[in-house]
Amino acid sequence: MNYKEIFRRFSKLNILIIGDVMVDSYMWGKVERISPEAPVPVCTITKKENRLGGAANVALNIAAMGAEPVLCSVVGDDVNGKTLKSLMKKQLLSTDGIIFSKTRLTTTKTRILSGSSQMLRIDEETDVPVNSEEEDIFLKKIFEIIAKKRIDTVIFQDYDKGVITKNIIRSVVNKLKQMNIPVAVDPKKRNFENYQGVTLFKPNLKELKEGLKIDNFEQINPVTLRKAADILHKTYKIEKVFITLSDKGVFIIDYAQQPIKHFLLPAHLRTIADVSGAGDSVISVAALCLAIGMNAEDIARISNMAGGLVCESIGVVPVNKDILFKELNVQ
């Protein structure tokens, strides 16, 4: 496979990302004593860092692969919202698709670490769906972008924080079908049943069990995964089902190809430092592959490699294009 040509084609793509953005905040420190106030460790902070997370990390992954991301979301008109805007500008990401709301909080996850060990995570967020006025403004913004700019693939990056609603999904998917633009989805529980007719649907095993209400799923093998994928295809008219299985690898099936084939690819052996953000990298690379018409097995292979690579770094980071290229060429 000519990965050099594939990566060159990636660099010409425009990818629209719709979803929940967040600030990933990190505080590193040292623990040398127990508090006299309560039996808890005292962490003396030595370093702080804010990073883009959620759908914004997907945008970073798209940019890291050489393509142009267009990010659309609703965030709070608050201090953390200003931090997010500043981080986006620093990363040369356009903020044109970001709506600032006075009724919402900007999702922020603060992790306190001692060395490489996470001691505590503090979340500031709301998961209430956007109100009708915000929904209308958000939809208008999305349609404006689609009308003005060539979009090669759209990603719904759903974290169940309320930015993506049933009406937004249906309205955007129907419009994209008319324009023959593929749609890739990284779902969560709330909207699981609303992504009907999308091109590629990428749940992890936990999301698959919750979404299909499967209690007994002990055996992870091609037969059981195929049965679950068949349900998704028949119920929701999904073209490609792409299931991530953590250390068990990935499963993909394409119902648009004849004969229908499925593939279960093993995970690559890695020194795992942190699995945060791996799903963001997988859906990002899968969407790029989808945009240039790659087959299901190759989509899974390249995306699986990308997800494994980011697990070697602490915290949420985008995939490194150069390292991914080298790894793919030595498979």
- In the beta sheet, which residues pair with residue 112? 27, 120
C-alpha to C-alpha distance for 315 and 272, rounded to whole angstroms: 11
The active-site residue, picked from 215, 280, 298, 322, is 280
Extract the runs of DSSP E, i.e. beta strands, from the chain. 14-19, 21-34, 41-54, 68-76, 98-101, 108-114, 117-124, 153-157, 183-186, 200-201, 240-244, 250-254, 261-265
Contacts 24+ apart (CB under 8 A), 187-192: 187/156, 187/158, 187/211, 188/158, 188/159, 188/160, 189/160, 190/158, 190/160, 191/158, 191/160, 191/164, 191/165, 191/166
200 Cβ contact list (under 8 Å, min separation 6): 182, 183, 184, 185, 238, 239, 240, 241, 242, 286, 287, 290, 299
Known active-site residue 136:
no
Active site residues per annotation: 280
